[in-house]
Amino acid sequence: MEENDLLLSGIQHFAFCRRQWALIHMEQLWAENVWTADGHFFHQRTHDETLTELRGNLLITRGLRVRSNRLKVTGVCDVVEFHASPDGVPLAGRQGLWQPYPVEYKRGAPKEHDADELQLCCQAMCLEEMLACSVPEGSLYYGEPRRRVKVIFSHELRAKVEDMLSAMHQHLQRGHIPNVRPHKGCRACSLQELCLPKLNKPISVYDYLNAYMEEGGL
């Protein structure tokens, strides 16, 4: 990892809540909750770097490290499948040509926002730069229900990844931690106690006076 590189996994934090991303990636804060702990367990097998399998025309690699010099981002892919294809690229120590196809594993169900798609697309953009090839699509594998969802890496999705990475770099350079903006996702956020969204909510005059009286102020 180069100095000033962003962590690729931060894309999903940034898409979910910019403040969460800043607390984790700039302030180095982290707190486990049942969702994050479950997520780590779910990822354990996919990140076992000793697992590389050849199944006929399909080579499966796990825990492949990727980086983009242009985007200044680095990370680890859960799974990258390499399909034997005349349109593919040569791989060291393997005969023939192989087309990369990233697969990212997610514990839960498909989400309302596109954080997972953005993370996967960023992996594909890193693979393209590293292998000098084109990676037009990949898949997200969801644990609930157990199924794959194909993702096409469109121009729009790629542009959104670039915009997001650019905003993340700007936050890093300015050392800026975004303010609390409570939203419904806060309830599942593992940083809730550290972020303290309730303390930053405007308090009504009624609640303020009640709290003041309870403390013996009147």
**Could you list the residues that contact ligand SF4 (CB under 6 A)?**
17, 19-20, 23, 180-182, 185-186, 189, 191-192, 195, 197
CA terminus-to-terminus distance, the chain: 58
Nearer to ligand SF4 by Cβ, of 36 and 192: the residue is 192
Number of residues assigned to the chain:
218
Q: Quote helix, strand, coil % in the chain, to nearest 5.
A: 40, 25, 35
Nearer to ligand SF4 by Cβ, of 74 and 119: the residue is 119
Which residue, chain included where needed, has tokens 């990844």? 161
Rounded Cα–Cα distance for residues 192 and 176 (Å): 19
Give the shortest CB-23-to-ligand SF4 separation in angstroms: 6
Give the shortest CB-39-to-ligand SF4 separation in angstroms: 15
Judged on CB neighbours under 10 Å (0-12, 13-18, 19+), 192 is middle
Give the shortest CB-178-to-ligand SF4 separation in angstroms: 8
Using alpha carbons, select from 9, 62, 33 the residue that is nearest to residue 194: 33
CA quadruple 145, 150, 151, 154: dihedral positive or negative?
Answer: negative
CA-to-CA separations, 214 to 30, 199, 204, in angstroms, rounded: 34, 18, 15
Give the shortest CB-27-to-ligand SF4 separation in angstroms: 11
Query: Residue 106: left if φ>0, alpha if ψ -120 to 50, beta else—which one?
Result: beta
Nearer to ligand SF4 by Cβ, of 102 and 197: the residue is 197
Give the shortest CB-54-to-ligand SF4 separation in angstroms: 42
Give the shortest CB-193-to-ligand SF4 separation in angstroms: 9
Nearer to ligand SF4 by Cβ, of 9 and 85: the residue is 9
Nearer to ligand SF4 by Cβ, of 13 and 62: the residue is 13
Nearer to ligand SF4 by Cβ, of 70 and 198: the residue is 198
